[in-house]
Structure 1
Amino acid sequence: MIKTIIFDFGDVFINLDKTATADAFSKLKTSSSQAFITQINELYETGMITTEEFFTHYSTIYPELTSFLIKDAWNAILLDFPTHRLNFLQQLAISKQYKLILLSNTNELHIDWIKKNISHYQAFKSCFDQFYLSHEINLRKPTADIFNFVLSKNQILPDETIFIDDTKEHINTAASLGIHTWNIDPKKEDITTLFATKSDLF
């Protein structure tokens, strides 16, 4: 019996254009390796470097860019947050049938953009019993550590928990720990169909 639902944020609630940031930067020539860029991004997502340090690193890669242009390209991934998904979540929160947890790989720049541009962000956040952002807890999916942190911190059992994420790698780690999963396809599926799609668990 499911007692806890753990949700990802991007492409579960807020729509993303996952190629937009890479496309924005790819138009510029750089001699830096993709591995180095990925390392900087992961450090930022786990809160190991500050936003200013993030800008400094990117300025060494793209010296022609100002901090404003870097931020603009970085936030290009973020799109809209359909209200029907918020309505679904609010009804779920009102029912109090499940513990609701958000578990998102994100960073300060993205959250700042969301706070400024998504009018119902605070209403969204208030629906959750726990709200975990990778840069605040210094852990990042798909490591097992982040899932063990959530399970332990909330005293929840894997077989009474479902985790919903659009990234297969994240799903695989959760499943390996005994957590039920839904690898949602944002192009074909919507979070509002959770109970119909996973009717065998509810």
Structure 2
Amino acid sequence: MQGIKNIIFDLGGVILNIDYQKTNDAFIALGVTNFHELYSQFKGSHLFDNLETGHISTADFLQEMHKHVPAGVTDEQIIDAWCAMLLDFPLQRLQLLQQLRQQYNLYLLSNTNAIHLERFNQILMESRGIPSLAEFFDKTYYSHLVGLRKPGTEIYEVVLQENGLKAGETVFIDDTLPNIEAAKKVGLHTIHLLPPKTILDIFRPMAV
């Protein structure tokens, strides 16, 4: 971390525990037996990309999903299934962010969508009494609000330019290799966080 002044964190798998299988299982429980195929199909049709870049609304997303779930399934059930992947915010990770912020400028850069943003802030409030992840960062960047997503290099450049950051003084932490490779292209230092390691392992001396 010598010479580093700024840290950009990914969210899912880095700060927030996630489990994609739980969303698959939740849709199967609703009667969508081929969700793995459907998810691949939606990736190909850019449904999820469009949701994560804010190019379609929550209502549009739900309308599309209703075509693939049994009759009688409600919007709320679809939303709950879609959010089942979002688990918890381990307390030590949040405490670590508070400690790091005393020495570094901290930023959050997440590929997410309006549905998940509302839900994970709800999880944070209900579990920790904190209304928003914004409490831990100098600024948060969510793909659906920026209109760009990783691994496109533009979204990294937005973070750097808007905050007057030098790439050489900034480290980016993510659990997804394409996102790490894209960050390197714009000159960021990177840490590819692979399980079972967590950010506590990276910053162990500062962890509580």
TM-score, with structure 1 as normaliser: 0.87
> Equivalent of 1:28, from 32, 35, 47?
32
Aligned structure 1 segments of 4 or more residues deviating by more than 6 angstroms: none
Mapped contact 2:174–2:180 kept (Cα < 8 A): yes
Deviations 1:55-83 (A, max 9, x none): 00111222533212211110010101111
**Structure 1 equivalent of residue 64 of structure 2:** 57
Matched, 1:126 2:128: no
SS in 2 for 1:77: coil
Residue range with higher mean Cα deviation, 58-67 or 43-52: 58-67
Deviations 1:81-133 (A, max 9, x none): 1111111111122x2x2111000111111121122222234364212111111
Mapped contact 2:121–2:132 kept (Cα < 8 A): no
SS in 2 for 1:80: coil
Mapped contact 1:164–1:183 kept (Cα < 8 A): yes
**Structure 2 equivalent of residue 4 of structure 1:** 6
Q: Distance in 1 between matches of 2:182 and 2:99?
A: 29
Q: Distance in 1 between matches of 2:124 and 2:196?
A: 23
Q: Distance in 2 between matches of 1:87 and 1:182?
A: 20
Within 5 A, what are the aligned runs for 1:102-121?
102-119=108-125, 120=128, 121=130
Q: Distance in 2 between matches of 1:123 and 1:35?
A: 31
State, as a whole percentage, how many aligned pairs show the same letter.
Answer: 39
Mapped contact 1:86–1:124 kept (Cα < 8 A): no
One-letter amino acid of the structure 1 residue matched with residue 198 of structure 2: D
One-letter amino acid of the structure 2 residue matched with residue 81 of structure 1: F
Paired residues in the alignment total 194
Deviation at residue 25 of structure 1 after TM alignment: 3.2
Deviations 1:142-183 (A, max 9, x none): 101111111111121111110000111101100122211111
Structure 1 unaligned regions, length at least 5: 198-202
Residue range with higher mean Cα deviation, 47-56 or 18-27: 18-27
SS in 1 for 2:54: coil
